[in-house]
Amino acid sequence: MSPRDNILPHAALVPRHVAVVMDGNGRWARQRFMPRFFGHKAGVDALVRAVNAFADRGVQVLSVFAFSSENWKRPDEEVSGLMSLVLVAVSKYLTKLARDGVRIRIVGDRSAVSDKLRQAWEQAEAMTANNTRITLAVAFNYGGRWDVVQAARRCVADGLEPERIDERALSERMALAFAPDPDLFIRTGGEMRISNFLLWQSAYAEFVFTDCLWPDFGEREIDAALAAFAQRDRRFGAIRPPEVAMAGSA
Ligand code: IPE
Ligand code: IPE
Ligand code: MG
């Protein structure tokens, strides 16, 4: 029996794909009278713990917002700190994540990042390509609007006639085409907004917002978010079938 046999209440109640806006690193550091970078570093540690905890609970894909298209607006020092943190994180954690059965995928516009960073991403993807326990999709230099635009451009580049450009054609060309749409969308840090994360893919995601700052987001918060998800009544625009409604009220 694997550890998750104890935890899974009912497979259908567990989201297949969880998307997370990992927000609040800067405030976490400020509470400790430390520079923002200290919070980002703690954020990486929290991510490595979270991916294992989600995997133990049966989640198949965890996508995390690590750097948004808009985060370039931050001071140069913070931007370059975040870039170098990726290199540090890869050298510190790649072997562990590979051993833990995590498949790493990077989503976002790679054209704007340094060669060194691109190589680190390629190494992380190549080293974990055969892993199947959980997929960790790291959104870096990613924006939901960028994703829609790049998918539309690819439709044109592929020579699709206008009438063949439909939801499926776009979905197949979105950055997360390899994953099902997120079932559960979590944002830490207290803000209640999407901030241009998975706009297209989150059409029917269930949202959980928590005040917990990302570096503090641990198993307790993960269980609370998954419990909230299990309580939701997902209808996808339909009405509940009567037998389900009856069973629910019994
Ligand atoms: C989220 O934490 C991480 C990134 C955007 C890279 P923030 O840096 O936004 O932390 P707060 O929101 O200022 O606390
Ligand atoms: C969203 O957080 C981006 C990431 C977590 C990478 P922000 O802190 O950048 O979002 P806003 O500016 O509060 O909307
Ligand atoms: Mg923030």
What is the tens place of the pLDDT at every residue in 200-237?
999 999 999 999 999 999 999 999 999 999 999 999 99
pLDDT band at residue 239 under the 50/70/90 scheme? confident
Ligand at shortest distance from the CA of 195: 2
Q: Over the stretch 117-134, which tens digit does the pLDDT of each residue have?
A: 999 999 999 999 999 999
CA of 115 to the centre of ligand 1 (A): 25
Report residues whose beta carbon is within 6 angstroms of any ligand 2 atom: 21-23, 65-68, 71, 191, 193, 195
Question: Cβ(104)–Cβ(138) under 8 Å?
Answer: yes
- How far apart are the CA of 242 and the centre of ligand 1, in A? 45
Q: What is the mean pLDDT of residues 85-91?
A: 96
> Which pTM does this prediction carry?
0.92
**Residues in contact with 218: Cβ distance below 8 Å, sequence separation at least 6, in sequence order:** 46, 49, 50, 53
Which of the listed CATH numbers 3.40.1180.10, 3.40.50.300, 3.30.1490.20, 2.60.410.10 matches domain 16-148+178-230? 3.40.1180.10
Average pLDDT over residues 227-248: 81
State how far Cα 12 lies from the chain centre: 20
For the chain, percent of residues with pLDDT exceeding 70 = 91
